[in-house]
Structure 1
Amino acid sequence: MLIPQTKNIGLPLMNLMRFKGLPILQQLHIEEQLLRSSSENWCIVNDGTNDPTIVMGVSGKPAELLEIESVLDDQVPVIRRFTGGGTVIVDHGTVFVTFICNKEAVPNLQPYPRPIMSWSSSLYSKVFQGIGDFHLRENDYVFGNHKFGGNAQSITKNRWIHHTSFLWDFNVQNMSYLKHPKRAPAYRSARSHLDFICSLKDYMPRSTFMDKTVEATETQFSLRPIQLEAIRTCSEAEFCPSSRFLTNEELEAAAVALQS
Structure 2
Amino acid sequence: MLNIINNSNDPYFNLALEEYLIKQAALDDDKLILWQNAPAIVIGKHQNALAEINYHYVQENNIQVVRRLTGGGAVYHDPGNLNFTFLLNRDNFATTDFSVLAEPIIYCLSTLGVRAEFNGRNDICVDYKKFSGNAQYLYKNTLLHHGTILFDSDLTVLGQALKPKKKYISRAVRSVQSLVTNLKPYLPGGLNLPTFKQLLAESIIAYHNRPYQEYQLTAKDIQAVNRLVADKYSTWAWNFGSAPAFAYQKELTFAGGSLTLHFNISHGLITECKFYGDFFEQQTVQELEAILTGRHYEEAGLQSLLEKVDASQYIRGLTSEQLMSCLF
2:146 matched residue in structure 1: 163
- Say which SS state the counterpart of residue 76 (structure 2) adopts: strand
CA distance in 2 between partners of 1:18 and 1:132 (Å): 26
> Which letter maps to 2:160?
S
Note if 1:103 corresponds to 2:90. yes
Q: Are residues 1:136 and 2:118 paired?
A: yes
Aligned-CA RMSD value: 3.2
Partner of 1:118: 99
Residue identity opposite 1:127 in structure 2: C
Structure with larger Rg: 2
Please say if residues 79 and 246 of structure 1, whose CA atoms lie closer than 8 Å, have aligned partners that are also in contact. no
1:57-85 deviation per Cα after TM superposition (whole angstroms, max 9, x unaligned): 11111233122233344443211112222
- 2-structure distance, mates of 1:75, 1:234: 25
Aligned 8 A contact 1:151 1:162 in 2: yes
Instruction: Give the C-alpha shift of residue 198 in structure 1.
Output: 0.7
Partners in 2 of 1:182 and 1:16 — Cα distance?
A: 33
Q: Which has the higher contact order (CA 8 A, sep 6+)?
A: 1
Q: Which residue of 2 aligns with 1:78?
A: 65
How far off is 1:179 after superposition?
3.0
Do 2:106 and 2:116's aligned partners in 1 also have CA atoms closer than 8 Å? yes
Equivalent-residue separation in structure 1 for 2:42 and 2:226 (angstroms): 25
Q: 1:182-230: per-residue Cα shift (whole Å, max 9, x none)?
A: 5527xx4xxxxxxx11111112222443233222322312231111117
CA distance 1:250–1:129, change in 2 (3 Å): closer
Corresponding residue number in structure 1 for 2:248: 257
Write the letter of the residue equivalent to 2:213: R
Asked if 1:202 corresponds to 2:185, the answer is yes
Cα distance in structure 1, aligned partners of 2:48 and 2:11: 20
Q: Contact 1:54 / 1:89 at 8 angstroms: preserved in 2?
A: yes
Distance 1:258 1:163, change over 3 A: farther
Match runs of 1:212-227 below 5 Å: 212-214=199-201, 215-220=203-208, 221-227=210-216
Offset, 1:242: 4.4
* 2:100 partner amino acid: W
Question: Is 2:166 the counterpart of 1:184?
Answer: no
How many angstroms apart in 2 are the aligned matches of 1:246 and 1:121? Answer: 32
Q: How far did 1:93 drift?
A: 0.9
Name the SS for the 1:133 alignment partner.
Answer: coil
Q: Indicate the percent of aligned positions where both proteins have the same amino acid.
A: 22
d(CA) in 2 for partners of 1:239 and 1:228?
15
> Contact 2:20/2:225 (CA < 8 Å) preserved in 1?
no
Q: Measured at CA, do residues 237 and 179 of structure 1 come closer, stay the same or move farther in structure 2, by a change above 3 Å?
A: closer
Letter in 2 for 1:71: V
Whether contact under 8 Å (1:121, 1:135) holds in the other structure is no
For 2:204, give the aligned amino acid: A
SS where residue 169 of structure 1 aligns?
Answer: coil
For residues 6 and 45 of structure 2, the distance between their equivalents in structure 1, rounded to whole angstroms, comes to 24
The structure-2 alpha-carbon separation of the partners of 1:69 and 1:200, relative to structure 1 and needing over 3 Å to count, comes to same
Deviation at 1:126, TM superposition (A): 1.4
Pairing 1:43–2:26 present: no
Structure 1 length-normalised TM? 0.75
The 8 Å contact of residues 6 and 217 in structure 2, kept in 1 or not, is answered as: no
CA contact (8 A) 2:137 2:145 kept: yes
In the TM superposition, what is the alpha-carbon distance from 1:157 to its structure 2 partner?
2.2
**2:296 equivalent in structure 1:** none
Please, which runs of 5 or more residues in structure 2 have no aligned partner? 165-172, 251-261, 263-328
Equivalent in the alignment of 2:257: none
